[in-house]
Copies of this chain bind each other. A is one copy, B any other.
Amino acid sequence: MRIVVLAGGIGGARFLRGLKAAAPDADITVIGNTGDDIHLFGLKVCPDLDTVMYTLGGGINEEQGWGRSDETFQVKGELAAYGVGPEWFGLGDRDFATHIVRTQMLSAGYPLSAVTEALCERWQPGVRLLPMSDDRIETHVAVETDGERKAVHFQEYWVRLRASVDALAVVPVGAEQAKPAPGVLEAIGAADVVLFPPSNPVVSVGTILAVPGIREAIAEAGVPVVGLSPIVGNAPVRGMADKVLAAVGVESSAAAVAEHYGSGLLDGWLVDTADADAVPRVEAAGIRGRAVPLMMTDIEATAAMAREALALAEEVRA
């Protein structure tokens, strides 16, 4: 079975670990969000791609959900001693090496997709990891501070401001001119099922869908598209998705997120058992709904979620 998964960072990566356990023989292609990529200290950092790569490759900091295990912070300390920031982005020494290799390859002319493939040679994530695009796309968030409206990089909004101010708009700058990375449309076209993990529907999955051609390819693939709600009990399971949902005028609820994706894209939607009463509203939107436990407490619980998603896909297909 060929499965395509649109993945953001932590939520996507953890779901993928469960999916691999649930479908060990599946051929999984991951289309990774690159909208929160950022240049720091002259280096290209791809937080979501790396979180997927480290998580599936066994190098992740498990507690934190991002960054490397057994990490040290000598480089960061030295950069601070030079007065070079930002200090709010926590890059560790092991992590730095990844960005150094990536930046060197990009400077040598390799596209991000080729660089990601090269990095995955080491990590062997057991999936094919593709960036959504080789073109530069940067998610910016419009905020108002001291009565003035300005746009900040998503990472600044998320990590430095910790989403403490309202997001007025979320704009994937550069997306309109971007093309899907090589292999992305082909993978969607050849897929048996497409899954949206419980990733952020605006700044993760939404950004991937903003690359011209990807949404259309999924809608027209003629295969089941099933998602898992990142919202449980009207709040994000982790992160601050409610903040960016508000920016796009979507309430923070499992049903509203399904409606936001819409029946033109989504065929099935899993909500948590706590949100069982949302199922009728999901189905009223023309999307097959089901309530199952959606807490990724461990790999087995996550694998069960993946099995439910695949079962719902088969139900939709039949």
Q: Hey, which bits of chain A sit against chain B, CB under 8 A?
A: 41-43, 72, 74-79, 81-84, 92-94, 96-98, 100-101, 103-104, 107, 119, 121-122
Contact = CB atoms under 8 A, between A and B. Distances in A.
Q: What is the total number of copies of this protein in its complex? A: 2
Contacts of A77: 97
B79 A93 contact: no
Contacts of A78: 93-94, 96-98
Nearest to A107: B42
Contact of A122 (B74, B81, B103): B81
Contacts of A79: 97, 100-101
Contact of A41 (B92, B100, B119): B100
Nearest to A106: B42
B75 A96 contact: yes
A93 B75 CA distance: 6
B97 A75 contact: yes
Contacts of A107: 42
Nearest to A39: B104
A42 B97 contact: no
Contact of A94 (B74, B101, B103): B74
Nearest to A121: B83
B42 A82 contact: no
A101 B72 contact: no
Contact of A104 (B83, B84, B122): B84
Given A82-B122, A93-B93, A122-B82, A42 B74 contact: no
A43 B104 CA distance: 8
A93 to B, nearest CB: 4
